[in-house]
Structure 1
Amino acid sequence: MNDWTAGYMTDINYTYGYYSELNPQRVGLAFLNRGLVFPEVTTACELGFGQGLSVAIHAAGSTAGWHGTDFNPAQAAFAGDLVAASGADARLRDDAFAEFCTRPDLPDFDFIGLHGIWSWISDANRAVIVDFVRRRLKVGGVLYISYNTLPGWAAFAPMRHLMTGHADLLGAEGRGIVNRVDGAIDFAEKLLATNPLFSRANPLVGERLKKMKEQNRHYLAHEYFNRDWHPMHFATMADWLDGAKLDYACSAHYLDHLDAVNLTPAQQTFLAEVPDPMFRETVRDFMVNQQFRRDYWVKGARRMSPLERVEALKTRRVMLATARDQVSMKIAGALGEASLNDAVYGPVLDLLADLRPHSLGQMEQSLRGKGLSFNQIVEACLVLTGVGHLYAVHDDAVAAKVRRQTDRLNAHLCGKARSGGDIAYLASPVTGGGIIVDRIQQLFVASIVQGRKQPADWAGDVWKTLSSQGQKLVKEGKPLETAEANLAELTAQARTFADRRLPALRALQIV
């Protein structure tokens, strides 16, 4: 392996994921829920951006100037193509952290984000990042950071060590990393089949191994098989970030804000009696067996008065981006599945069903006759955002200003969908972020943008693309063999798309 890799997996492409927590537009509601002042983001940075889908979408969907680096030149080149397609204000590089973080030509930032990177780099690189945040994050600025967490990974860490050892020592280099990953999983399964005392003491290890077998091998290679892999306790993370003068703000995973679906009444009472807020986070991680934290930190936490908080919340605008009847009334938390209270969520969803932006203050006025308190409305918005149905939205002027950038990026992404389905997101100028749109739906969007009016026309365009490459649809696990069958299925999908998905995509100004 080349020295420039620093032990990080480079012989297999990283996945084309999008991570909404890296969207600065998402910070406001989470901060206000905790009574914290959040900054206006005019400059932002993503460290270790992978294929760059998140940074490209966020640069296209905002007026902020973005910077970032990923040391893998192939990934940096791909990300650069996305940015060039949109024409957004983003400067992306393939520098190592030590090189990028000491550049003299960088601005100070309102927002810095790292998704997952922290767990897979050395202590030396962590020190570089902390120093960068200390010097380059503005006072009042926000850091988003996610990482593998203890105690959730404590039981599986020895098994991960065993599998990487197998891949390194017994997996032949010439077979490629995917075969080495498969070989390591197979070896681990055979070990567990001997019923070792380790698996008897840690019965959930076998279940996690089964889940691994179902996951994308590109993801597994980067998740488990790098040289560095360091889950850590929240308190250890706090010690690291103390040198950058950061205060813990809140979880970026909105469902973490809802204790009712994550903690039993006894746990809530016990936790409330822990006087130190930082130690309280550590205790909570034990209660939910936390495996992965997604957190916002701030340089200089500023508390609002209760009046200031409510007034600021009332100005926040949100919109529903899912058809009303497609919103599940169940959510999953650490305690399992829970049902949403229809007396609260029913009226909220009915109001938002027009797929238009509403301020929380307007929602309070409109729902006054439904017996809902403002706090219930705020909590409902947090939950609906957490499950991916609701989004914080830009001012109309900002959305109009960035629309051309997102249109160009979406045209580029839809063009890539002609040959494959690796990227399952398009950019919304309304939310400033990514929206899930699968390959076939992206091809429908491209047909609509080209002026096609009817679902049958969209289906015909998609079938021309697929058939020219010898590709066929798969239905109920079986390929559709004839052109007629494929065209009929695409037409049915197009009609469903027109009825169920297209209205929201139009509201999000993706189409």
Structure 2
Amino acid sequence: MSDWTSGYVADINYTYGYYAELNPLRIALGFINAGIRPPKTINACELGFGQGISTNIHAAASQINWYGTDFNPHQAAFAQELSSISGADAKLYDDAFSDFCQRDNLPEFDYIGLHGIWSWISDENRAVIVDFIRRKLRVGGVLYISYNTQPGWAAMVPMRDLLAEYADTMSAQGAGTISRIDDAIAFADKLVAVNPEYCNANPQIKNRLAKIKQDNKNYVAHEYFNRDWEPMAFAKMARWLEPAKMDWACSARYADAIESIQLTNEQQALINNIPNPLFRQSVRDFCENRQFRTDYWVKGARRLSELDKDEMLGGLRVIMGVPRKDVQLKIAGRLGNFDLPSNIYTPLLEMLSSYQPVFVSELWQVAAEHGVGRSAFNSAIAILASKGIILPAQSDDDIAKVASKTGQLNRFLMSRSRSTTELSYLASPVTGGGIAVPLFHQFFLLASLEGGDDAKTLAAFTWRILASQNKCLLKEGKPISDENENLVELERQARDFLDERLPIYRALKII
């Protein structure tokens, strides 16, 4: 009998995560800042979509035609259900990569995304994917790929191999994956306790093991216990993509482009004096001891002039996605926290706090009136985006065309959240992507959809859900047993929700 899993963990489903970097609408800002002309995305594909949360949110919240595959039929079935409910008509399959990539019903793609998959598949599957990119990603198209990388993971490779070997050879025959994980970690604790030289040479291993014990077991299973696992150096990644004619474009995480908060002056000087752009990335990974990369690659980069950059940046629409009062004029980087000048940011935030889409060119007019230079303004837009304060905003026409799909998807996800805590993102037709919405906010939104408009009604609605499951709130780490005390605390949270969050959710057209 053939092993359809190819050594990949399949008896435990992957987590229900959402990954904003997979949203093609985010490409424009990153590319413009890197001086590369961004493409228009019509057809997109995600390889290894897990539970399909990201794919379905992006399919429902935009007019992009989505395709994808995940070999796990349980996950593919859930993803297909989401697509059917939203009406997005995403073409989602449970094919192995080798089967999916040979389908004759696939278009040329403007965008192909892989989140994390690359690190946990065989070289055979990597070759299949690279050939797919070569054949099916159109000229000018973008590849998003994230993966574990060296040197940050280098010390953990032997320990991970030991954990996997123990789970395969020493655990009881027939034991489930969770049991085998627990056994392997328990053995690792015993090994650390006898003070092996490996741990003395790599003291960070103890902290890494401690973190593994705290992580979600489904995540740990997929992160550490697949047969294939290779944290890959950037240079090796580049060599893999050479046959597909891919050029590295930029990081998908905007903050990576802000060198002043990530690298010392000496590190910047060293890196900026390296003429080869790929080798610069390799050296930077050493400076940062990077463990994970999130990269955009493009098939044929078209460079922008400074004038083109400013004009294309001005043509982007953005919307504020967080309460104004929660915005702190600081940014965190590898080197610590840095203050942001209020004379630059305060006027921009005041304009954004209407929670309506605005063009970046409108923000530039405000900045210029306050004496802000072009370079400082461009940096400010990148920083606001990296902090998640501003999000991309689609045209009003696109928003109107997809709002019914996101409404149907969100109603289903919120309804499911009455019995699970794993669904924590909803779709915004404004941003074309997902928005983090805490569990109780989802309950309050459900109550609002049913006509609730005051804190008392929202609290009572939420309490009925909790009481039906014999659950209660925690206060200072202790459960609140009294019903009235639960309702008082829920009313307090509901008032904050109505005052601070509901206006933003409505502006983002979550409901």
Q: TM-score, normalised by structure 2?
A: 0.98
Q: Is the 8 A contact 2:348 2:366 kept in 1?
A: no
Q: Tell me the distance in 2 between the aligned counterparts of 1:450 and 1:83.
A: 24
> 1:506 aligns to what SS in structure 2?
helix
Q: Is the 8 A contact 1:9 1:222 kept in 2?
A: yes
CA-CA distance at 1:333 after TM superposition:
1.9
CA-CA distance at 1:186 after TM superposition:
2.4
> 2:103 — aligned with what?
103
1:133-177 per-residue CA deviation (whole Å, 9 max, x = no partner) reads 111111111000000001110011111111112222222254422
Q: Tell me the distance in 2 between the aligned counterparts of 1:444 and 1:2.
A: 48
- What amino acid is aligned across from residue 440 of structure 2 in structure 1? I
- What amino acid is aligned across from residue 36 of structure 2 in structure 1? L
Q: Are residues 361 and 173 of structure 1, via their aligned partners in 2, closer, same or farther at CA, if it must alter by over 3 Å?
A: farther
The answer for unaligned runs of 5 or more in structure 2 is none
> 1:408 aligns to what SS in structure 2?
helix
Q: Is the 8 A contact 1:140 1:298 kept in 2?
A: yes
> 2:171 — aligned with what?
171
Q: Tell me the distance in 2 between the aligned counterparts of 1:341 and 1:162.
A: 49
Q: 1:305-324 residue pairs with structure 2 within 5 A?
A: 305-324=305-324
1:261-317 per-residue CA deviation (whole Å, 9 max, x = no partner) reads 110000000111111011111011100011100000011100112211111111111
1:155 aligns with 2:155: yes
> 1:404 — aligned with what?
404
Q: Is the 8 A contact 2:344 2:367 kept in 1?
A: no
Q: 1:166-205 residue pairs with structure 2 within 5 A?
A: 166-205=166-205
Q: Are residues 254 and 173 of structure 1, via their aligned partners in 2, closer, same or farther at CA, if it must alter by over 3 Å?
A: farther
- What amino acid is aligned across from residue 500 of structure 1 in structure 2? E
1:80 aligns with 2:80: yes
CA-CA distance at 1:392 after TM superposition:
0.9
Aligned length: 511
CA-CA distance at 1:2 after TM superposition:
6.7
> 1:360 — aligned with what?
360
> 1:3 aligns to what SS in structure 2?
coil
CA-CA distance at 1:478 after TM superposition:
1.7
1:263 aligns with 2:280: no
- What amino acid is aligned across from residue 85 of structure 2 in structure 1? A
Q: Are residues 327 and 186 of structure 1, via their aligned partners in 2, closer, same or farther at CA, if it must alter by over 3 Å?
A: farther
> 2:424 — aligned with what?
424
Q: Tell me the distance in 2 between the aligned counterparts of 1:318 and 1:510.
A: 16
1:406-450 per-residue CA deviation (whole Å, 9 max, x = no partner) reads 000000101101111111000000000000002111111111111
Which segments of structure 1 move beyond 6 Å, counting only runs of 4 or more?
Answer: none
Q: Which has the larger displacement, 421-430 or 494-503?
A: 494-503
CA-CA distance at 1:209 after TM superposition:
1.7
Q: Tell me the distance in 2 between the aligned counterparts of 1:340 and 1:224.
A: 39
Q: 1:85-484 residue pairs with structure 2 within 5 A?
A: 85-484=85-484
Q: Are residues 177 and 330 of structure 1, via their aligned partners in 2, closer, same or farther at CA, if it must alter by over 3 Å?
A: farther
> 2:21 — aligned with what?
21
Q: Tell me the distance in 2 between the aligned counterparts of 1:212 and 1:359.
A: 44
Q: Which has the larger displacement, 135-144 or 388-397?
A: 388-397
> 2:489 — aligned with what?
489
1:216-264 per-residue CA deviation (whole Å, 9 max, x = no partner) reads 1111110011000011111101111111111110000111010011100
Q: Tell me the distance in 1 between the aligned counterparts of 2:479 and 2:16.
A: 25
Q: Tell me the distance in 1 between the aligned counterparts of 2:456 and 2:274.
A: 61
1:470-497 per-residue CA deviation (whole Å, 9 max, x = no partner) reads 2222222222212212222211111111
> 2:91 aligns to what SS in structure 1?
strand
- What amino acid is aligned across from residue 6 of structure 2 in structure 1? A
1:342-396 per-residue CA deviation (whole Å, 9 max, x = no partner) reads 3332332222122121211111111223221222222222222222222011011
Q: Tell me the distance in 2 between the aligned counterparts of 1:331 and 1:204.
A: 26
Q: Tell me the distance in 2 between the aligned counterparts of 1:151 and 1:321.
A: 35
Q: Tell me the distance in 2 between the aligned counterparts of 1:73 and 1:375.
A: 50
CA-CA distance at 1:185 after TM superposition:
2.1
1:53-104 per-residue CA deviation (whole Å, 9 max, x = no partner) reads 0000000001011100000000000011111110003110000000000000
Q: Tell me the distance in 2 between the aligned counterparts of 1:3 and 1:203.
A: 38
Percent identity (aligned): 52
CA-CA distance at 1:7 after TM superposition:
0.5
Q: TM-score, normalised by structure 1?
A: 0.98
Q: Which has the larger displacement, 164-173 or 222-231?
A: 164-173
Q: Is the 8 A contact 1:420 1:439 kept in 2?
A: no
The answer for unaligned runs of 5 or more in structure 1 is none
Q: Tell me the distance in 2 between the aligned counterparts of 1:477 and 1:183.
A: 30
